């Protein structure tokens, strides 16, 4: 049981390049989330998906797009990377939609934009 | 809006000391409350949770009690170990929402 997996673990981009961060969960969870973690800022929600086929903006969605490919997979795309997007990105999932529930986190992707 | 405030770190203690990390919240409605822990180089993992007033969550020697009257959920441990060194996040979630709101985290250093 792998839980939540993320690829890649590390990535360095140049300003203006694009990339997609991949996330998959094997717990049959309905909801999935993308966060970014910056020093002194805690975790900030970028986008989330309450169920397959739906996505919603979080606190800091600008510069990002997401795709809920199926129930297992939720990808985050940076179309034109900027240095302000240097951060650690975490994907998470939870079982239930519409009610408070434990979130399970992946190991993170450390992204540097030069 | 809903929010979580937790004490700023870093907190540095000696091994076997008593730990308290303060957390207060603001929420409309009746939130569930969580403590998550992040060990170096890893993602967050649930440490404990409480879903209604006066509930006590506990795990690995850590405890927190849901205090509605003071809107607090302080984390405590009677005797910390070096292996408890990590970042601790207080968080809340409300029934109407799919999201969890996290505090900014408190870094804990335990000295041998």
The pLDDT value recorded for residue A1 is 64
**Strand B23-26 to strand A19-25: parallel, antiparallel, or no bridges (unpaired)?**
unpaired
pLDDT band at A40 (very low <50, low <70, confident <90, very high): confident
Nearest residue in chain B measured CA to CA from A58 = B99
The pLDDT value recorded for residue B95 is: 66
CB contact under 8 A, A105 and B103: no
Q: How many residues does chain A have?
A: 114
State the CB neighbour count (10 A cutoff) for residue A107.
Answer: 17
- State the first-to-last Cα distance of chain B, in angstroms, to the nearest integer: 41
Q: What is the pLDDT of residues A45-71, one digit of tens each?
A: 999 998 888 999 999 999 999 999 899
CA B101 to chain centre: 12
pLDDT at A91: 97
Whether the per-residue pLDDT at B21 is higher than 80: the answer is yes
Q: Is the pLDDT of residue A96 over 80?
A: no
| Cα–Cα dist B92/A36, whole Å | 18
Average pLDDT for B28-32: 85
Average pLDDT, chain A: 92
Nearest chain A residue to B107, by CA:
A40
Phi then psi for residue A7, to 5 deg, are -135, 145
Give the Å distances, CA to CA, from A74 to A78, A80, A112, B32, B97.
14, 19, 21, 25, 19
Is the minimum CB–CB distance between A82 and chain B shorter than 8 Å?
no
Q: A19-23, A96-100, B15-19, B31-35: which has the minimum mean pLDDT? A: A96-100
Model pLDDT, residue B72: 97
pLDDT at B33 over 80: yes
């Amino acid at each position: 049981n792998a839980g939540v997996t993320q690829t890649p673990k590390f990535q360095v981009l140049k300003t203006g390049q694009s990339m997609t961060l991949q996330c998959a969960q094997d717990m049959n969870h309905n909801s999935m989330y993308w966060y970014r973690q910056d020093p002194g800022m805690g975790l900030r929600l970028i986008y989330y998906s309450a169920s397959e086929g739906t996505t919603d903006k979080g606190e800091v969605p600008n510069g990002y797009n997401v795709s809920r490919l199926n129930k297992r997979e939720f990808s985050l795309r940076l179309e034109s990377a900027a240095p302000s997007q240097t951060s650690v990105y975490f994907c998470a999932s939870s079982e239930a939609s519409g009610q408070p529930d434990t979130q399970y986190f992946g190991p993170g992707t450390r992204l540097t934009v030069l | 809006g809903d929010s979580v405030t937790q004490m700023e770190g870093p907190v540095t203690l000696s091994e076997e000391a008593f730990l308290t990390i303060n957390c207060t919240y603001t929420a409309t409605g009746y939130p569930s409350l969580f403590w998550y822990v992040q060990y170096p180089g890893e993602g967050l993992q649930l440490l404990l949770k409480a879903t209604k007033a006066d509930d006590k969550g506990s795990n690995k020697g850590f405890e927190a009690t849901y205090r509605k009257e003071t809107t607090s959920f302080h984390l405590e441990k009677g005797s910390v170990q070096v292996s408890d060194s990590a970042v601790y996040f207080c968080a809340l979630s409300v029934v109407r929402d799919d999201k969890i709101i996290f505090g900014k985290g408190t870094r804990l250093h335990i000295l041998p």
